[in-house]
Amino acid sequence: MLALLGTRAAWPHGLPPGFRPDFGLALRRAGLDRDEDNRKCYQIFTSFCAQSISRVADDLYSITGSYSQESADGMTTEHMLTFDCTVTVYSMFLSTLPPPLQEAVRLGLTRQPYQVFLREHESPLLTVVGEPGDTVHTNENESYCPFMAEEFYLEEVDPK
């Protein structure tokens, strides 16, 4: 009901229920995106759940999804992660997907709206290697700082 009414003052910290903060922006704000010599810190993310793939421009693709991070005290924090990538890295991403999903994503990004949303059961779990991006994007709903992806690996899922 609260989400329908849109009463922002009643939302915890002014955030809508289910909102996941951007991990790239959180890392940047904490000063953990660069080392003491101001070099970008290379990042490896495991169990990234890709949920949205977009073609932003002819030479730029974007992959967004959820990311759970467990702290030393056992608490889990849910974030959103965005990875931007070049055509070459996007091709690598596409080749990691199972063939039926690979074809659906490829075809979906050949026509408007140049975006594919994956249902939960078809979202692949990936390990992604990259570095923090340089740009913070802001719109009416959010701010986010994408990572520049360099490598993708499909994680094996245990069929229990």
Residue 83 belongs to domain with CATH number: 2.40.50.140
Look at residue 137 and tell me if it is in a domain: yes
- Dist. CA 141–CA 107, nearest whole Å: 28
Flag whether 41 is in a domain.
yes
Measure the CA–CA gap between 147 and 23, rounded to whole angstroms: 9
In a domain, 5, yes or no: no
Q: Domain total for the chain?
A: 1
**Residue 19, pLDDT above cutoff 90:** no
Give the domain range for residue 60: 18-154
Q: What pTM, to 2 d.p., does this model score? A: 0.82
Does any domain span residue 8?
no
Instruction: Tell me if 6 is assigned to some domain.
Output: no
Identify the CA nearest to 63 among candidates 53, 49, 77: 53
> How would residue 29 be classed by pLDDT, with cut points 50, 70 and 90?
confident
- The DSSP code for 114 is -
